[in-house]
């Protein structure tokens, strides 16, 4: 029995190796295969810089929208029982399962001139197709489930009795949420924001439908691959991986620093 127990972790590690190689090998090749001259040429290209900046900017903007509007919904789903709750949770998860081009088509169908919402938006000067606004809308749509579900789990991990004690001491609902619940759930909020940003920055299928131009980094990579091949698309993809990794490491370090405090 002791010998079999000793073999458990080595066996589990051995079985896990194929998945580790599946992730590691393509990404490592993506990072080491481009020559330094190609990487330098890519990062000094104004079109590449604009696309990378646009991807970061729109992804972070989408995450901010998710934080502002998704936090109350996550708290409601974590704390309240109501008729149709499972339906709401299913709707929140739906963007994960829908094919991404379908998401883009669905958004255009309600924001175009043939639909009342689209006419209303145009009347107040808001265009969706081919604009920064359209990209942010798409990225919020695809990233929101990751933020809401992560924060919802964080709220559920906080004992309800903690909030009840706060209420029994005279604190109101707003005070209890912002002074008790919110500080206890911030780790889940940061993790959810990281996942939302990661999902948004990688989106291609829905973005290419709603806004091929102005180009985000994934769209630019696709265009250069189809027009010029792997050699010209790979350096841009490499920079996107590096910038994304740096962004998420910074977020993780911030989360760890706050946790230590």
Q: What are residue 34's phi and psi, to 5 degrees? A: -65, 140
State the Cα–Cα distance between residues 190 and 226, nearest whole angstrom: 36
Specify if 14 maps to a domain: no
> Is 18 part of any domain?
no
Cα 184 from Cα 45, distance rounded (Å): 44
Instruction: Judge whether 223 and 45 are in contact, CB under 8 Å.
Output: no
Residue with structure tokens 């980094």? 217
pLDDT for 91 equals 93
Provide the domain count of the chain: 1
What pLDDT, on the 0 to 100 scale, is given for residue 257?
56
Q: Is residue 171 part of a domain?
A: yes
| Closest to 70 (Cα-Cα) out of 248, 193, 207, 203 | 193
Please state the φ and ψ torsions of residue 67, each to the nearest 5 degrees. Answer: -65, -45
What's the pLDDT at 3? 64
Rounded to two decimals, the pTM is 0.86
Q: Which 8-state DSSP code applies to residue 220? A: H
Element (H, E) at 152: helix 132-157
Residue 25 lies in a domain: no
Q: Is residue 156 part of a domain?
A: yes
Whether 20 is in a domain gets the answer no
What pLDDT was estimated at residue 255?
A: 63
- In tens digits, the chain (261 residues) has pLDDT values of 556 677 888 888 889 888 888 888 887 887 788 888 888 888 889 999 999 999 999 999 999 999 999 999 999 999 999 998 999 999 999 998 899 899 999 999 998 888 888 889 888 988 999 999 999 999 999 999 999 999 999 999 998 898 888 888 888 888 888 888 988 888 889 889 988 998 999 899 999 999 999 999 999 999 999 988 888 888 998 988 888 787 777 767 766 655 555
Nearest Cα to 145, choosing from 186, 184, 88, 104?
A: 88
* CA distance linking residue 98 with residue 64, whole number of Å: 23
Distance CA 54, CA 62 (A): 12
> Cα dihedral sign for 24, 103, 59, 94?
negative
**Which residue range(s) make up the domain with 213?**
37-260
Whichever domain contains 77, its CATH number is 1.10.3720.10
Q: Residues, the chain, total?
A: 261
């Amino acid at each position: 029995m002791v010998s079999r127990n000793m073999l458990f972790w080595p066996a589990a590690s051995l079985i896990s190796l194929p998945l580790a190689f599946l992730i590691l090998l393509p990404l490592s090749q993506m990072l080491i295969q481009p020559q330094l001259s190609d990487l330098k040429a890519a990062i000094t290209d104004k079109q590449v810089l604009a696309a990378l900046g646009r991807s970061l900017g729109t992804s972070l903007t989408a995450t901010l929208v998710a934080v502002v509007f998704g936090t109350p919904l996550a708290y409601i789903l974590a704390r309240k029982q109501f008729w149709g709750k499972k339906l709401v949770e299913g709707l929140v998860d739906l963007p994960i399962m829908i094919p991404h081009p379908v998401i883009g088509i669905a958004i255009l169908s309600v924001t175009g001139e043939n639909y009342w919402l689209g006419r209303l938006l145009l009347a107040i000067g808001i265009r969706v197709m081919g604009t920064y606004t359209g990209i942010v809308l798409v990225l919020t749509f695809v990233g929101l489930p990751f933020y809401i579900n992560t924060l919802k789990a964080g709220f559920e991990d906080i004992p309800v009795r903690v909030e009840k004690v706060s209420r029994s001491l005279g604190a109101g609902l707003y005070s209890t949420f912002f002074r008790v619940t919110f500080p206890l759930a911030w780790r889940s909020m940061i993790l959810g924001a990281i996942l939302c940003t990661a999902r948004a920055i990688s989106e291609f299928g829905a973005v290419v439908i709603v806004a091929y131009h102005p180009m985000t980094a994934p769209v630019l990579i696709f265009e250069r691959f189809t027009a010029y091949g792997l050699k010209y698309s790979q350096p841009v993809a490499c920079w996107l991986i590096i910038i994304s990794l740096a962004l998420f490491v910074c977020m993780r370090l911030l989360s760890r620093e706050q946790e230590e405090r």
